[in-house]
Chains A and B, each alone.
Chain A
Amino acid sequence: METNMATPMELLCWGGDWDLPSVHTESLIVLAYAKFAGANLIAKPIDWTWRTITTTVPQLHHDGATVTEPTYILNYLRKQRFNADYDLTAKQGADTMAYIALVEEKLRPALLHTFWVDSENYSNLTRPWFSSHSPFPLNFFVPARHATLALSRILLTKGEAPLHSIAEVEGKIYSEAKECLNLLSHRLGTAHYFFGNTPTSLDAFVFGYIAPLHKANLPSGQLQNHLKQLTNLCQFCNAILKNYFTDGTPGSPPSSQETVDANLQKLTQLVNKESNLLEKMDDNLRSSPQHRPHRTKPKPSALSNEKNLTPA
């Protein structure tokens, strides 16, 4: 325990929004687990830095070690004696592995689709958010890169012949995701957490996956609507946010760096606004009455999106 407190643990992650400490599932899982286990993590958002393209997040740095991926990071924290699963029986530990597998296999593809492939959500929420949180010129390709990865992941793991196109896979992945949410709701029942009164790593995983779905302002939200009907899961999310994350979100940048980066941030935002404006002008030209309109619904202006999404 002595050496743990000496060197601080840092976590590189995506920043927060929508009332969440992070908008990114994998980062949320680690942040939540750290809170449950009482580990003091210093969260360092990669927003507006070049790390948005160079670094896999979440990423833990401690004592010269670098650990990526939620499962391995949680293992590392457990080895440092930050163990939220200490009181679980062997069977409960086994159940944890099984339910995590279920969520990764049945829920994650539809979540990836909701945020990164669904065209309404992607253009109106996801891309603007990640775009505005990446420095120029990365804002042009950071979101697109995530989207491509998401799409190929879904197709490779779910698209079996002859279902090679995303349209054919969609029906299946959403129905599986809805069933998975139902199963989680059944399993949780009226309890506060999945294994009694204190949260464990399973709670961290489930929270990480469903919190963005619960909180994001999604224009096209069939899966979100389904989740809203499962009130115990929604309460589960809200309870964790209230009990563990209300005293200042860890996603906010540490004060020591704030003054240094503030000017750079402002400059980047201005440039982003400019490039978004140019993009919008281009879009407007293409969809002008002289050309055949592709969409009849009005698109929210890029500038107003910026105002809503960038933290004060």
Chain B
Amino acid sequence: MSLAAEAFVSQIAAAEPWPENATLYQPLKEDQILLSDCASSLAVQAYLRMCGLPVQVRCRANAEYMSPSGKVPFIHVGNQVISELGPIVQFTKAKGHSLSDGLDDVQRAEMKAYMELVNNMLLTAELYIQWCDDNTAAEWEIRRKMSAVGWAGKSLEQVYEDVSQCCQALSQRLGTQPYFFNKQPTELDALVFGHIFTILTTRLTNDELADRIKAYSNLLAFCRRIEQSYFDEQDKDGQSGSSRFSKGPSLI
């Protein structure tokens, strides 16, 4: 969003409380959904649940075309449509909901830095692996983006290694704490959960990536904890028309 549009959205957002019928749109599951899109959608869902903001999840074949920015997921709240985690976090903040208000400046800097690490490494790796994985459709846009960020020359092995290093950094940062900033989850926790959980539960032709992540037991425990705390009870309601969050085997 341009700066002016962002300011405008914030103003409108502040005016109304969170409605009951807020909806999140993502592409259809199974073949159509990209690994990275699935992770992004899960991150947003986790974030909203952590904020205690109810949202229904709808899968649509043409979700990307419905989205104003072409990116998924997007949420439809009142008469506004916002896509991607960053803008959605700002939007909820304008409505008075925030997970990171309690952080001081240095902590906030750390949080943003780690979120970029996740975006840089995991998101790019997911795109790359999807591109290399024969069973999924390779998009020319992915190739262009890979070249732009310098990943075109990387081998698959190097990508796995990079992901391992990223997970090692996350694991070390998390330590023995329940969440990255100790007792309370923030958008960083939502983002990490979205990506790690997706990688662990998606069936690719090669399980190497999932295996590498499983080596970090505190990350596994972290994902289980979030799944249990924020996703298990709600799913029992079984809302019609919306999909279950867990698309495959759960971690529990």
B residues 208-233 with Cβ under 8 Å of A?
none
State whether the Cβ of B114 lies closer than 8 Å to any Cβ in chain A: yes
Determine if A171 and B169 form an interchain contact, defined as CB atoms under 8 angstroms apart: no
Q: A105-B120, A187-B106 are in contact. Are A99 and B69 (CB under 8 A)?
A: no
In the bound complex, what is the Cα–Cα distance between A166 and B69 (angstroms)?
16
- Contacts of B112-131 to chain A: CB distance below 8 A: 112-114, 116-117, 119-121
Q: Give CA–CA (A102, B71) in the complex, Å.
A: 21
Verify B148–A156 contact, CB threshold 8 A.
yes
Answer yes or no: A8 CB below 8 A from chain B CBs.
Answer: no
B interface residues, how many (CB within 8 angstroms):
33
How far is A69 from B158 in the complex, measured between Cα atoms in Å?
14
Q: How far is the CA of A161 from the CA of B148 in the complex (A)?
A: 17
Q: For the complex, give the distance between the alpha carbons of A171 and B175 in Å.
A: 38
Asked if B3 and A98 make an inter-chain contact with CB atoms under 8 angstroms apart, the answer reads no
Query: A172 vs B145: C-alpha distance in the bound complex, in angstroms?
Result: 19
Q: How far, in Å, is A40 (CB) from chain B's closest CB?
A: 28
Tell whether B110 is near chain A: CB-to-CB under 8 Å: yes
| C-alpha gap A157/B117 in the complex (Å) | 15
Using CB atoms, name the residue of chain A closest to B120: A101
Are B112 and A102 in touch, CB under 8 angstroms? yes
Q: In the bound complex, do residue B109 and residue A93 qualify as a contact, i.e. CB atoms below 8 Å apart?
A: no
**CA A156 – CA B147 in complex, angstroms?**
9
Q: Which listed residue, A98, A183, A187, touches B169 by the CB 8 Å rule?
A: A98
Contacts of B119 on A, CB cut-off 8 Å? 101, 105
Is A186 among interface residues, defined by CB-CB distance under 8 A? yes
The 8 Å CB contact of A186, one of B3, B106, B120, B148, is B106
Provided the pairs A98-B169, A171-B3 are in contact, do residues A156 and B144 lie with their beta carbons within 8 angstroms? yes
Q: Mark B48-85, 1 if CB is under 8 A from A, else 0.
A: 00000000000000000000111100000000000000
Minimum CB distance partner of B171 in chain A:
A94
Query: Are B172 and A90 touching (Cβ within 8 A)?
Result: yes
Contact residues in A for B71 (Cβ distance below 8 Å): 160
8 contacts between A and B (CB under 8 A): A101-B113, A101-B117, A102-B113, A105-B120, A153-B148, A156-B144, A186-B106, A189-B106
